[in-house]
Amino acid sequence: MIVASPKPIEEVINTVKDCKKLLILGCNECVTVCEAGGKKEVGILASALRMYFAKQGQQILIEERTLERQCDHEYLEEIRDIADTYDAILSLACGVGVQFTAEKYLSTVVLPGVNTCFLGATEERGLWTERCQACGSCVLASTGGICPVSRCAKRVLNGPCGGSTKGKCEISKEVDCAWQLIVDRLTALGKMDEYEQIAPLKDWSTDRAGGPRKVAKEDVQS
Amino acid sequence: MSLKTDSKLEKILRAGHLAVTSECGPPRGTDLSKVEEKANLIKDCVDAINVTDNQTSVTRMCSLAACIKIKLMGLDPVLQMVTRDRNRIAMQSDILGAAGFGINNMLCLSGDHQSFGDCATGQNVHDLDSMQLVQTVRHMRDEGKFLGGGDIAGPPKIFVGAAANPFADPFEVRVPRLAKKIAAGAEFIQTQCIYNVEKFEKWIGLANDRGLTEKVFILAGVTPMKSAGMAKYMKNRVPGMDVPDEIIKRLSDQPKEKQAEEGIKICIETMQRLKEVKGVAGFHVMAIEWEEIVPELVKGAGLYPRPEV
Ligand code: SF4
Ligand code: SF4
């Protein structure tokens, strides 16, 4: 899923402070799972902002709404009637949701309420970690199912580098060395002979480097 | 003896001599005379001089410019190039520029992560990794082609090196990884600083068993300790560095003013011991900001005068 984390409240206050009427718009998908932008977080942020502006003696009407998804025309249509009654919509969806909302409601200011961080998984309650950078050409088959692109700080394709220490990455004792994990897994799978095959130069044109990407599946297009 | 390049380092190694290299860090400014000073301090006791590439990710004058300066002094520089800061266009371009100035050696590295340096908020590139950079230089030299397939008018005649760290983890892959670097085309290897001599000997022993030391020249890396404090710092703070407690004890047992002397002694002992080890083809003496000590180390290890080739 896409993992996000709430923006600092000061930053949010600064972006919404000139509004008279604000909609905080949550999303029921990834940001709900990572507890950054679901119905619950919409409620918490709304209360915090109401309290702050009340203290400042500032009149601002804050309403709450959470859609099934903000990256889908169908669900975004649900706010068609009300969108332009607000000075701004503060979207707690990922960057995709924020943009899709903005594209749909051209005349309303749409602001991000979270920082979109990465593609990751829930390691344990309250802890999410990165697993993929959507490079567009997956190499997991040759790396024991562990991604060197997203999980190695230097995205070394023939690792580990010389900084790997006791299973940890050179950047921090808190970060696992992806290549230690890869070697452990290849060993467990009895595939260490594959380790000695040199990974070729990667084609990064399917990655960010190639410019904005698109996936088209013609057989389902109408 | 068939030489692939005009590198003096290659000549020395292929003639069967123990080679000695050392290194210079370029200045944090524009004064090239600093490079000249450092090179002059070491030039008589080494065969080639590595020039570091923004080491520890701290911004400095570019390695290529400092290499050109050293080359113009009539010496043999080793251009260090990290994959952190350049994409494949920039790297191929710098390789051509280096070869154009008669720079005959390169050391291909991934580079320390930028979080260690003065631009921690910067982007890193890592379009290629160090192994793929080795492949790239060999491809350009031996096939006379760019990565994109086009012909190079005057391919770069560069002797290609890579680094190896026998002390990084996991130990089991350190020899297979050396094998990979050799398969990628590395012709010489400069190792991480050796303090844990037993572990190094174990590593090179395994490399000997696989016949790897017949395919590549391994220059054992050494760095003299200036003080017990430096030894502790390297042990605890520098990733991939293995400093045994005995070394720290030997240094801290000395009064402060005698610790540097002890560090030099340890370094010379290490070189003397490793000179006899099968598979060691020479030494890479790293004494950053202590270049003036290099001649004493080389002489102490019985590696002076340097052979004429
Ligand atoms: S290799 Fe690419 S697609 Fe596969 S997990 Fe890593 S970043 Fe994602
Ligand atoms: S220590 Fe491991 S994860 Fe970190 S940069 Fe090196 S190979 Fe990658």
Q: For residue B110, what is the domain's CATH number?
A: 3.20.20.220
Please report the pLDDT score of residue B268 as a whole number: 98
Domains, chain A, with CATH or none? 2-118 (3.40.50), 135-202 (no CATH)
> By alpha-carbon position, which residue is closest to atom 4 of ligand 2?
A169
pLDDT in tens, B192-247: 999 999 999 999 999 999 999 999 999 999 999 999 999 999 999 998 999 999 99
Residue nearest to atom 2 of ligand 2 (CA): A177
pLDDT of residue B1: 65
**Ligand 2 centroid – CA A180 distance (Å):** 8
Residue B2 confidence (pLDDT): 87
Residue B239 to residue A177, Cβ atoms within 8 A: no
Q: Quick check: is B181 in a domain?
A: yes
- Position B97 scores a pLDDT of 98
The 8 Å CB, 24+ separation contacts for B61-66 are B61/B26, B61/B27, B61/B28, B61/B29, B61/B30, B61/B32, B61/B35, B62/B26, B63/B26, B64/B94, B64/B97, B64/B98, B64/B103, B65/B26, B65/B32, B66/B24, B66/B26, B66/B32, B66/B35
Asked if residue B306 is part of any domain, the answer here is no
pLDDT at B263: 97
Of A150, A154, A153, A145, residue with least CA distance to A181: A145
10-residue stretch averages of pLDDT, chain B, 309 residues long: 93 98 97 97 98 97 98 98 98 98 98 97 98 98 98 98 96 97 98 98 98 98 97 93 97 97 98 98 94 97 97
- Domains in chain B, number: 1
Within a domain: residue B305?
A: no
CA dihedral B28, B29, B35, B36 (to 10 degrees): -150
Tell me if B308 is assigned to some domain: no
Domain that holds residue B176: 8-300
- E runs forming strands in B25-172: 48-51, 77-82, 105-109, 159-164
- The complex's ipTM works out to 0.94
Mind telling me how many Å the CA of A148 is from chain B's nearest CA? 12
Dihedral angle at the C-alpha atoms of A70, A71, A74, A76, nearest 10 degrees?
Answer: 30
**B157: its two tokens:** 């005649």
Contacts of residue A154 in chain B, CB cutoff 8 Å? Answer: 83-84, 110-111, 113, 124, 126, 129
Residue B1, in any domain of the structure: no
Which pLDDT score, from 0 to 100, does residue B55 have? Answer: 96
| Whole-structure pTM value | 0.96
Contact A161/B172, CB-based, under 8 Å?
no
Phi/psi at A173 (5° precision): -70, -10
H/E element, B192 = strand B188-193
C-alpha B117/C-alpha A174 separation (Å) is 19
Phi-psi region of B211 (alpha: psi -120 to 50; beta: other; left: phi over 0): left
* Closest to B220 (Cα-Cα) out of B196, B245, B251: B196
- pLDDT 10s digit of each residue in chain A, 222 long? 999 999 999 999 999 999 999 999 999 999 999 999 999 999 999 999 999 999 999 999 999 999 999 999 999 999 999 999 999 999 999 999 999 999 999 999 999 999 999 999 999 999 999 999 999 999 999 999 999 999 999 999 999 999 999 999 999 999 999 999 999 999 999 999 999 999 999 999 999 999 999 999 999 998
In a domain, B287, yes or no: yes
CA distance linking residue B102 with residue B301, whole number of Å: 30
Whole-number Å distance between alpha carbons of B115 and B95: 26
